[in-house]
Structure 1
């Protein structure tokens, strides 16, 4: 393998033993990995685990597998893990968002570390302070229990959405807010309110809804039939709520975007399946998972794991336009 990669046997040992960081360049490490793939090399993970005192297994805790966002997060984490001979065990909270049974009692000894979403915070009560390295995703960077935090730029994404609507001329909007006590949704609400508060005569009202299409539809119907604050735009905390808002508009005989503009957040496949297609904020879910796994690997190697804030993208489609009149 050393001959194929064009490196020394010592370099091969460092890379295959996952001890190369700071001692071997990324280019040479990749050459060794490519040679291993060409030669069909498969490490003896059991022997390696005994030697290193590790299981080479990470736990990814998410609130539920009801949207593709967390599937994408898993894809990113699993890809990086596989490159380093690790496996990822996925733990979706069976109750979705909210308290869950302790997944760590029986599994703690077989894990090297945990990556978790803030949306599954209640399921993490057992691991906080339990000695396992913890990397949090889409979570409060001030959380003292997390050794590192990896976030999309949630506030920046909502500010871009708010400025997009303001530039179109919207001054009366309703925030269709997720009825979930989570850092990520508090950040969205604050960024939207602050951006609109800076503009004279701009007003944001809030209507809360559980994270489902039906609940989003019901909340949107209440907002769109409110005689005291009829909005020109509905700003939804995610694409699922936005889908419900679109259903409400259609049922009320309103045209999108002529009579009402509707926006989402996440850029799920659903966003481009709606008609008209949904203006939304694209979150880099795969990159979030990949950075989270990289941070955990750094911690396990005894290196500092810097947090990351990843850029997001405003995707303007057909569901937003200038308000009438």
Structure 2
């Protein structure tokens, strides 16, 4: 049997949820097939015929990233764009902080020229995503800000295990006076990373007291300010673990202003492993997020939905990797 016939059988089997052998029996008019199953397969075959006779038009995917396309978001968006192009899909990009005020989620279902969407760290509340899902409009969330609703496809990094690994690294170096500069409250990545730090510290018998914890917006300036207040504590901290690499850069600045050497006097660790982490002096110990893979998997998930299939898994967490550089040392 030609390869294209076998591929067609697999497509129909996947769409109807029956075996390839059952599809073959129906197409060869065998009698040992239940009437309901036969009808299901024949209807799927008819749909495939109709699609084949319709003029082909490239499907269009709306990608929304309501943030400045810096290293972190830029890598994800670039990966999505490259993967969409590889599969022959068109891209409509809505990016920049001005996109945070748009009503994109409410108007998407009425956009006849948009076939699906990839939403990167959407600022909207979870119930707005549920409302969009109930319209039947296909979309995938990348790096959700809040816990994704059960029936919504989402891709993120394993924030908890990554944060635990970097805290374990500092504890293994002998640090006990450790400060944490965490992300905003009620932000999924921030909550998961803080939980990972707490788990590692608790296992080592170290209590993360409130005065050693800061919640901030994850910027270099905010990191510098938070680190300054932590470094004024007594006894002085020997290590600070930061929400992301930008916060870690601010921490390096605060340490330098106080005449502290990194890593001799203070160990500093970040998260994300953006390009900046290798350009600092010293280079940052950090946690690498698989940003490119997140973009590629988001496209793969969306394509399955567009093709009429359920995603293989609704909530995917991709493994992170601890990257040890020169900003951490034994105490």
Q: Same fold (TM over 0.5)?
A: yes
State the partner residue of 2:203: 198
Alpha-carbon separation, structure 2, partners of 1:139 and 1:201: 30
The match for 1:160 is 165
Cα 1:176–1:8 change in 2 (3 A) is: same
Corresponding residue for residue 222 of structure 2: 215
In structure 2, how many angstroms separate the alpha carbons of the residues matched to 1:253 and 1:135? 47
Q: Where in structure 1 are there 5+ consecutive unaligned residues? A: 1-6, 24-47
Partner of 1:33: none
| Matched residue, 2:248 | 242
Q: 2: CA distance between counterparts of 1:310 and 1:9?
A: 34
Query: Which residue of the other structure, out of 277, 282, 296, is the alignment partner of 2:283?
Result: 277
Among 153, 170, 174, the alignment partner of 1:169 is 174
Q: 1:75 aligns with which of 75, 78, 103?
A: 78
CA drift of 1:118 comes to: 3.2
Equivalent residue in structure 1 for 2:306, among 300, 303, 316: 300
CA drift at 1:202? 4.7
Deviates more, 1:172-181 or 1:245-254: 172-181
TM-score, normalised via structure 2 length: 0.76
Instruction: State the secondary structure of the residue aligned to 1:139.
Output: coil
TM, length-normalised to structure 1: 0.77
SS of match in other structure, 1:302: coil
User: Which whole-Å CA distance do the structure 1 matches of 2:328 and 2:151 have between them?
Assistant: 38
Whether the 8 Å CA contact 1:279–1:317 is kept in 2: the answer is: yes
SS at match of 2:93: strand
* Higher alpha-carbon deviation: 83-92 or 181-190: 83-92
Q: Considering fraction of residues, name the structure with more helix.
A: 2
Q: Which runs of 5+ in 2 are unaligned?
A: 16-50
How far apart, in 1, do the equivalents of 2:185 and 2:241 lie?
Answer: 16
- RMSD of aligned C-alpha atoms? 3.2
The match for 2:54 among 45, 51, 57 is 51
